[in-house]
Amino acid sequence: MAQLEQRIHALLDSDAAATLAGIRRGIEKESLRITTDGTLAQTPHPPALGSALTHPYITTDYSEALLEFITPPSTELHKPLEFLEQLHRYVYSHIGDEVLWVNSMPCMIRNDDDVPVAQYGSSNVGRMKSVYREGLGHRYGRKMQTIAGIHYNFSYPEEFWKLNQVLEGENGPLQDYISRRYFDLTRNFQRYSWLLVYLFGASPALCKSFLAGREHQLDTFDHTLFKPNATSLRMSDLGYQNNAQSSLAISYNNLDEYVATLTHAIKTPEPAYDKIGVKVGDDYRQLNANILQIENEYYSSIRPKRTINKGERPTTALQQRGVEYIEIRALDLNPFEPVGINQQEIRFLDLFATYCLLRESPQLEKCDLHASKENLRKVVYEGRNTAIELCNWGKSVSLKDWASEKLTQMQPIAELFDRTHGGTNYSDALARQQEKVDNPDTTPSARILDKLESRQQSFFQFAMDQALAHRDHFLSRQRCDETNQRLEQLAEHSLTEQRHWEDAETQSFEDYLADYFRD
């Protein structure tokens, strides 16, 4: 605590408020395309949306039906949400009668084979993306890959880092300092991510079809599976079967250890995956039979990131150029918000990330990782019983008391951000989260279960109603002509670019993979 207070006071006494205005934010938001009867769309990625391989803002994730919207990084708080709004309006004008699912847990999917794997064309880059996804389907099941979420990308400006380096009397290259401090942030995020899951979890229920034929400990209502005090079943272990990742211990203690432990997992064979086969006949079933095919297969709630060049491995980019930004991955889609997230949540994420950066961040030992995972598991399944006991450095503390303590410690950070942007929006966002701690019925997860109970609705009926309401929201609002024209041009350009990549391809796919994974 002493270090947190010292750092906050130092920032308040310096010109830190001005540097925080340069924070860059971006959002990646996933949504399934569905039919009007609530089943997964079987149509290919619409050509009017451009190439999923090369379009900068509209792509696909695992499935051909799982759209991913990407906003460019911006220092202006309102820009990401405004751009997301425009992207949704544009997409709705080009998908006919299809609807975008607005919940993290998927729509009615009967069989794994009903989930079409995303296709990216015949270039080696495109084939690698599709084969990787085929591998995920074989390893974890295709249905699990239809779970959607929001990723929040966040970076501090160089001026902020320079100021902090001076305040802390640190020497050495600036980028080394930046990378080290981002890893401080990620370790604390691991410790405290349960708080985000409590505050913003919005998947306390799911459709029975998702777990058809599988054992589970959930309660049943109509065609709905749920837990009365659950917050985010998306963040639970429900999606994973025979998961070799459970034994992984990826280190967040520093950049070198992070890269080394990830690389080890990518190079270590996994017998269960070897049985699947890599290439059977002429068809690839996965990129390799190792614990991880590539870095992105490691499912973590936060990732240190560096923008990569075409064909470059993420760990290579990190090792050579250091951490550039963080990607927060613990966020459910909020079905009460048309684009799945609102400005108040964004402001709190700014506060939460900065709190994780400024407070003391000891190394994470295996016992710490275990405690963090157990805290998260409890909050996922039982979080709205705020009397549950969590582990804080070996001591038991109630969720309510610990959450209130964290939020109180963030108040000076909220004042710093309010000084940066004017007004009291950050303090107001913080106060709103305290209300959720004091009254669990105001959390998104509680609001969803209340809708199901009060309307005697299944999860599917509730989710479908929300999806149709949001569709009407986007279709009833005028698109910006300038943005619309730009997106049309980007779609055409991306299709041309994909064809260019394919026409220019000279290397065999086998050789391309060998080069990609070569040390």
Q: How far apart are CA 402 and CA 408, in angstroms?
A: 10
Q: How far apart are CA 215 and CA 368, in angstroms?
A: 29
Q: What is the pLDDT of residue 244?
A: 62
Q: How far apart are CA 314 and CA 305, in angstroms?
A: 8
**Which of 67, 12, 77 has the alpha carbon at shortest distance from 41?**
67
Q: What is the pLDDT of residue 91?
A: 97
Q: What is the pLDDT of residue 15?
A: 81
CB atoms within 10 A of CB 392: 15
Residue 228, amino acid: P
Q: What is the pLDDT of residue 213?
A: 80
Q: How far apart are CA 503 and CA 122, in angstroms?
A: 9
**Which of 350, 321, 313 has the alpha carbon at shortest distance from 152?**
350
DSSP for 34-51, please give it: E-TTSBBP-SPPPGGG--
Q: How far apart are CA 399 and CA 401, in angstroms?
A: 6
The per-residue pLDDT string of the chain (519 residues; one tens digit each, 9 = 90 and over) reads: 688 999 988 898 888 888 999 999 999 999 999 999 999 999 999 999 999 999 999 999 999 999 999 999 999 999 999 999 999 999 999 999 999 999 999 988 989 999 999 999 999 999 999 999 999 999 999 999 999 999 999 999 999 999 999 999 999 999 999 999 999 999 999 999 999 999 999 999 999 999 988 888 899 988 999 999 999 999 998 765 446 677 788 999 999 999 999 999 999 999 999 999 999 998 999 999 999 999 999 999 999 999 998 889 999 999 999 999 999 999 999 999 999 999 999 999 999 999 999 999 999 988 888 899 999 999 999 999 999 999 998 899 999 999 999 999 999 999 999 999 999 999 999 999 999 999 999 999 999 999 999 989 999 999 999 999 999 999 998 777 888 899 999 999 999 999 999 999 999 999 999 999 987
- Token pair, residue 95, equals 């998908």
Q: Which domains does the chain have, with CATH numbers?
A: 2-517 (3.30.590.20)
**Which of 206, 246, 211 has the alpha carbon at shortest distance from 445?**
206
Q: How far apart are CA 277 and CA 283, in angstroms?
A: 10
pTM: 0.96
HEC string of 376-421 equals HHHHHHHCCCCCCEEEECCEEEEHHHHHHHHHHHCHHHHHHHHHHH
Q: What is the pLDDT of residue 241?
A: 47
Burial bucket for residue 429 (CB in 10 Å: 0-12, 13-18, 19+): buried
DSSP 21: T
- Token pair, residue 448, equals 């969803």
Q: Pairing mode, if any, of strands 99-100 and 224-226?
A: unpaired
Q: How far apart are CA 204 and CA 309, in angstroms?
A: 39
Residue 373, amino acid: K
**Which of 110, 90, 118 has the alpha carbon at shortest distance from 32?**
118
